[in-house]
Structure 1
């Protein structure tokens, strides 16, 4: 046998290599809770008591784990059977959902220095039965016999006729992850940076805006793409005669007057923004810089900055040495008016959210007027709710902003009256409190009259 034959014969009888092991894949299932807390303060317990078995007072809704929840307090018990001598407390699923699994904890806070709170916790015994499942909207978890009423009324849980119930919710979430076969980081969009740099470069501009002595160059096509108002102004059938050079003039409108008012109210003249070339003494509410001009005068031409960059510049840099909280609120008011004028909905919503965060005694009246004039429903509702609180109303009606609100938006005052009346505590309204009495008004002949509570 030749060498080749020997080699082939040897290979034939040799052991074959072991088969390759099949590939092993893996995945991980992680179940955890998304936790959140809400404190429910119940003032006027003695008045709520006696409302009837099965009747309740409810907290404002709050969101945990993507679901909306509410706390229900039954001062006379939830049902007749065996708990009429107890107060009942329940947490309810207030949004749509099926088979929502969650853990709960209800705590009655001890308002003394001892802080011996009464805790009913599902978290501490979750191994016994697992999370509780709420089948549908309106499902509840809680205690019919939460606390004996006779003991509650003589305890430190009740202070100044007030109870505080703290609720903790842990919504169960399960996520399964498998191995990734790639690791490519997806960069964020940089289209705003490209357009922003185009604005900064000043190249290829074909339209200029003049505000007093300042001139700002921009690009018609970018403005038209971002704002339907600019599109109509620059390219529509009713476009301006000169679309290459547009002069921004003072705009006498209530929305701008209220912004000028908010700019000056409650602050010394030295803290106010003064247009270039004008002294502090020569600047008054009547001839103050109107919002669009204020925006264009701002360090980085905020409106154009947003149109190109799709973001706002640094507010701290923008307001400089001014009171940052006040100045950012005023800037948001000005921007909201301009955003509404030019139909920049995203900017308008951003400003509305910013103003919701900063509602305060010294700005709520002018902010409410602004919300009314620019159809900002959530901001409007928040301002009404804020003003309707008795201690807030007493302070707000002393501001010049409230006088302006009463004169410019009488329908809002009427709605505020109804809001206060429906709250069940409007005795303070009829007290004639301060110079801005809520109920004072004028008839068609200019005579002082009293408005009615409906």
Structure 2
């Protein structure tokens, strides 16, 4: 028995520095039944997809920008899993794998069979580790699942976005699956005491620009990152040339997730050359309603009411407005002017709970339907939009706050969503907290949430438990099978 263990220890050392293990050696080779030892094996497969973006260069030629996404799978098999003796915090690592022989990125999986720390001691923790990287960083999504006795994927958990990996950095799930659920033979996750972990990785590789001439009538204007959600649209060009008829061009767009520290803007310009106008064409000028109403508000002409906003620093500020427009846009102002209230008789309305700059932005929206400063004022505008029943402005504020979510402001945003019944923002904030729980729990906003908002805290924990905890199965404790060494 001693000799068998010694041989396997040498096999590990030949493959590189061995992780600290309890007693049992680890090998990527078969045991041939020589002894009951922990055995790890793995295989990888690779596919590569490329998404192309066609743009126009300065000289009028077509320019293709290709974003390559490399997808590969890795199957990690651990035989005799119930004999694993690693204690809480101790690690098992797979052999390294990559997308191919020429790929400079080297990855491995690591598990903590009895959890990473005290909080996860009843769970198996599972992580994807970037072992070697020639670049400063890479971005990748990953999905873990366990193959049952029928070789079907079960208990899958997937990253919500592409995470930033640097060499030596890992991402994964501290509470991947409960140990009692995994070890229960009735669940069929350890056939023949074999744990099979299936990992899918999608790496955003380099961007390549290709310039050349093209006569294609269909242009690819879709920039895709990880798992885009396509939306189909039609661009219809009315009659261009006599006898030519109308032309329809299929268009596509896609959405993708950005990390909390990234902001991206994609603009698309499609130039057409050599177009001629039909002699019989009548060109309709663009609608200027928004611009005209904005000019009406700024000029103060024909105004019949004054809004007075108090300002702590500069005193009250007045805004000359038109009752008809305010009443048409807001049910609150409509009721105020309709029922012969004091404000209606004096043609003056005191606004005590909205700062002047916020009130001006709200009035800009009521006159024009747009809010140029919504990103900067979203936290204050959402309160005004909720009070005066400006539903579209409220949703615009939700969108701006959702795009600005970070670990520092996620809890504050959740409280704001709860205060003003912003359900979409509430859902996004809870999801963000769940995905970035470690960073969020170190923020000042989390401390305030724990202290001042226990109901919201309970809702966050409920969502987190629903996402990560497998269903409870009442069954007898698993029985270990004891095999005797033939020597």
TM-score interval, smaller chain: 0.3 to 0.5
Higher gyration radius (CA): 1
Per residue, is there more strand in 1 or in 2? 2
TM-score normalised by structure 2 residue count: 0.41
TM-score normalised by structure 1 residue count: 0.44
